[in-house]
């Protein structure tokens, strides 16, 4: 293995595609991209952005939890991230008596900080492992390669594994499996909640304003990372001390103006900018509409219960927020794919490739093979979505599907006692988590509706054999909604998963017949086994072939036009990236102009006392009406700037990412994109794409003025 500085293939990613498009690998910034950044206003050297031997901005950027970004903002390990990134931790720390989601929370000293189950990861170094991976799968068919590659990855990451010091490696595929990089991380396990605004601030605007501009959401939360006395990662202990980081970000409250340079570091989750027209059509016409319809029903039933009872709202809050976020995203994505004629544009570029590939055996049949692959899979694509988003969208059914591993252990004749014991322990833990978050009234409606939607929308030939026939024989006409409601009511009344006494009896003496006769398990088992035995293998074949063709297509695109190849960047894949652009207003349609900031005035204009989405704490209303902005006032607007927009290229996973000025100072936290460019996972729109950011001055105002936690402000390096 060798450390990467630059390599021939990866240098292809180091040039901007067009306008502000591109999520670049900061450790491999090429001369042209860096010069472009400087022309746009950057005042830092490339080594100040990323360095192995010296502290650099990359050392202040962390993977926060399972899928967000955070940044270190003090020499005592203080973390800023989004409110929605800390949402589950805030909800878990809350109770009806101490409802931190509703009322907010601030620790006025370190003893008041609340432990969480979160982890944070710092990037240590990058290693090029392309040769090792390629050698490990050399000569294998793609199906065999897919089976072996996890072992190949493990053999590589095992060489850097150091559990005592929290060091581990992760291999990422770049450019559709044409190159592989290992990122080495250090993981810290003691992360504590320091502060969060009330949910009415952190989620102001709710689902109505989600993915929309103008936006007035204070989407931030504050945490701290701790280490043992030697500075090493450790489990929570009162003896642990705040981490002394290699680098932390100064915070600028000087303000921003239209056209200012903006840079975002973070861990964007996934894009598929090199998707084919076949993939666009599948997503636009089948996957997305199915997901939206199924999530719409689930959200409706959860919402009905949440508005009735604060305790239910607290219980369902995290799951509801997660489901709702991408419900709106995928609805918007499909509409934008139609509006932008993305399918047709892809077809045109693919025809250019087909014409070039004639007479080149390695490439000339790629799109004929794509056509065969998608034709074979398309009849089953909706089924897969209805399983993922429908059948196991019911928490009870999801638990039932988890119990399949218990059934497997019970029915196998060669199961060892220890294996059964482990399976039951895992099932008990899963049930405990389920019971803590289960809301029976909403889940019962979800179960009934998902079973009914599957019956109505999925080809009858693909239904699990005997299930609907049995349901009809026992409960009546399958054309009637009442039939499914009656069935679901019986499932909830009789399953042992919801009955402590029945579960205890089963756990004391587990047997396969009892499990198989449980109505919740019988439902989940029928659908999951039907999919796993008949359709999952087809999806595996489809996916493997797609990946194989994608690798060849990417390689061919680079050969077809070497000049254009130099402007290609790898798709986002949760590895560290940097994007750059400008603070910028825009015109989304004729006659409409959107300014680059939103202010406190707009918060009050949207304010609706008692409203689920637009209520505010009484103290905040008073402060805003009194214009009590302190040092955080914006001189141009003579108001408190709440949010701003930039042209930066981001995607999911960038939530909580720092927005930096030309000197590398923190000016905001990105948290969303705009509805006009919701196809950004598949295509970047140079005119309409905007990243929505909470202004750091609003963050600090909420902490100090609304929360009274000046101790947090005093910990920061403020630039005025």
Residues with active-site annotation? 84, 219, 655
Q: What span, in angstroms and rounded, lies between the C-alpha atoms of 130 and 173?
A: 9
Q: How many helices (H) and strands (E) does the chain have?
A: 28, 21
Counting beta carbons within 10 angstroms of the beta carbon of residue 51, is it exposed (0 to 12), middle (13 to 18) or buried (19 or more)? middle
Unique residue bearing structure tokens 């990134």: 85
Residue 210: closest CA among 61, 131, 328: 328
Q: What span, in angstroms and rounded, lies between the C-alpha atoms of 416 and 432?
A: 25
Q: What span, in angstroms and rounded, lies between the C-alpha atoms of 692 and 644?
A: 6
Residue 643: closest CA among 594, 706, 715: 594
Residue 669: closest CA among 650, 689, 688: 650
Q: Which residues have CB under 8 Å from 517's CB, separation 6+?
A: none
Considering Cα of 135, then 140, then 146, then 150, what sign does the dihedral take?
Answer: negative
Strand, helix or coil for residue 116: coil
Residue 390: closest CA among 330, 308, 456, 474: 456
Q: Which residues have CB under 8 Å from 647's CB, separation 6+?
A: 19, 20, 262, 581, 582, 584, 689, 690, 691
Residue 53, sorted as left (phi over 0), alpha (psi -120 to 50) or beta, turns out to be: alpha
Q: What span, in angstroms and rounded, lies between the C-alpha atoms of 86 and 505?
A: 38
For residue 98, the 8-state DSSP code is: S
Question: Is beta strand 105-106 parallel, antiparallel or unpaired with respect to 190-196?
Answer: antiparallel
Considering Cα of 174, then 177, then 180, then 182, what sign does the dihedral take?
Answer: positive
Strand, helix or coil for residue 537: helix
């Amino acid at each position: 293995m060798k450390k990467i500085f630059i390599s021939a293939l990866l240098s292809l990613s180091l040039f901007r595609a067009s306008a502000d498009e591109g999520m670049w690998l900061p450790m491999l910034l090429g001369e042209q991209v860096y010069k472009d950044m400087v022309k746009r206003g950057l005042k830092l050297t490339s080594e100040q952005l990323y360095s192995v031997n010296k502290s650099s901005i990359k050392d202040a950027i962390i993977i926060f939890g399972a899928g967000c970004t955070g940044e270190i903002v003090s020499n005592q390990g203080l973390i800023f991230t989004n409110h929605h990134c800390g949402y589950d931790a805030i909800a878990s720390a809350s109770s009806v008596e101490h409802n931190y989601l509703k009322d907010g929370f601030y620790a006025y000293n370190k003893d008041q900080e609340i432990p969480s189950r979160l982890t944070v990861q710092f990037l240590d170094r990058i290693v090029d492992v392309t040769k090792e991976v390629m050698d490990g799968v050399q000569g294998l068919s793609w199906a065999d390669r897919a089976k072996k590659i996890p072992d190949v990855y493990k053999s590589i990451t095992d060489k850097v594994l150091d559990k005592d010091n929290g060091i581990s490696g992760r291999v990422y595929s770049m450019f559709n499996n044409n190159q592989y990089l290992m990122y080495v991380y250090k993981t810290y396990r003691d992360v504590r909640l320091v502060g969060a605004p009330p949910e009415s601030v952190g989620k102001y605007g709710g689902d109505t304003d989600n993915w929309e501009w103008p936006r007035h959401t204070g989407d931030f939360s504050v945490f701290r990372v701790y280490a043992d006395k030697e500075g090493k990662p450790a489990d929570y202990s009162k003896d642990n001390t705040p981490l002394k980081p290699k680098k932390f970000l100064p915070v600028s409250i000087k303000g921003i103006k239209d056209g200012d340079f903006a840079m975002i570091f973070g861990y964007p989750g996934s894009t598929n900018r090199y998707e084919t027209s076949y993939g666009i059509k599948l997503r636009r016409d089948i996957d997305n509409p199915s997901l939206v319809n199924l999530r719409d029903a689930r959200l409706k039933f959860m919402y009905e219960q949440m508005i009735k009872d604060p305790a239910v709202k607290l219980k369902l809050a995290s799951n509801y927020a997660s489901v709702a976020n991408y419900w709106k995203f995928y609805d918007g994505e499909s509409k934008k794919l139609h509006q932008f004629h993305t399918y047709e544009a892809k077809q045109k570029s693919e025809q250019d490739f087909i014409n070039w590939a004639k007479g080149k055996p390695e490439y000339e049949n790629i799109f004929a093979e794509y056509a065969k692959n998608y034709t074979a899979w398309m009849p089953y694509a909706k089924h897969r979505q209805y399983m993922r988003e429908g059948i196991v969208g019911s928490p009870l059914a999801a638990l039932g599907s988890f119990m399949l591993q218990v059934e497997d252990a019970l029915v196998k004749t060669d199961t060892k006692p220890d294996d059964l014991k482990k399976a039951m322990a895992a099932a008990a833990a899963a049930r405990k988590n389920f019971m803590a978050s289960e809301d029976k009234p909403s889940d019962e409606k979800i179960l009934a509706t998902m079973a009914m939607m599957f019956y109505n929308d999925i080809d009858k030939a693909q239904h699990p054999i005997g299930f609907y026939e049995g349901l009809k024989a026992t409960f009546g006409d399958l054309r009637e909604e009442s039939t499914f409601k009656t069935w679901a009511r019986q499932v909830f009344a009789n399953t042992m998963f919801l009955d402590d006494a029945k579960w205890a009896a089963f756990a004391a003496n587990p047997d396969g017949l009892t499990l198989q006769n449980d109505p919740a398990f019988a439902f989940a088992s029928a659908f999951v086994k039907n999919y796993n035995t008949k359709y999952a293998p087809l999806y595996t074949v489809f996916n493997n072939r797609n990946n194989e063709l994608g690798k060849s297509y990417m390689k061919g695109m680079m050969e077809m036009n070497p000049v254009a190849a130099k402007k290609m960047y790898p798709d986002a894949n949760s590895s560290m990236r940097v994007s750059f652009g400008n603070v910028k207003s825009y015109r989304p349609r004729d006659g409409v102009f959107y300014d680059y900031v939103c202010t406190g005035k707009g918060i009050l204009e949207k304010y609706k006392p008692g409203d689920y989405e637009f209520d505010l704490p009484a103290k905040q209303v008073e402060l805003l009406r009194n214009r009590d902005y302190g040092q955080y006032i914006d001189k141009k607007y003579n108001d408190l700037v709440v949010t701003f927009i930039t042209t930066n290229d981001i995607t999911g996973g960038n939530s909580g990412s720092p927005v930096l000025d030309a000197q590398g100072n923190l000016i905001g936290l990105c948290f969303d994109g705009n509805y006009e460019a919701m196809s950004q996972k598949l295509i970047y729109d140079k005119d309409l794409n905007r990243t929505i950011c909470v202004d750091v001055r609003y963050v600090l105002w909420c902490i100090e003025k609304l929360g009274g936690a000046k101790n947090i402000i005093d910990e920061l390096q403020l630039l005025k």
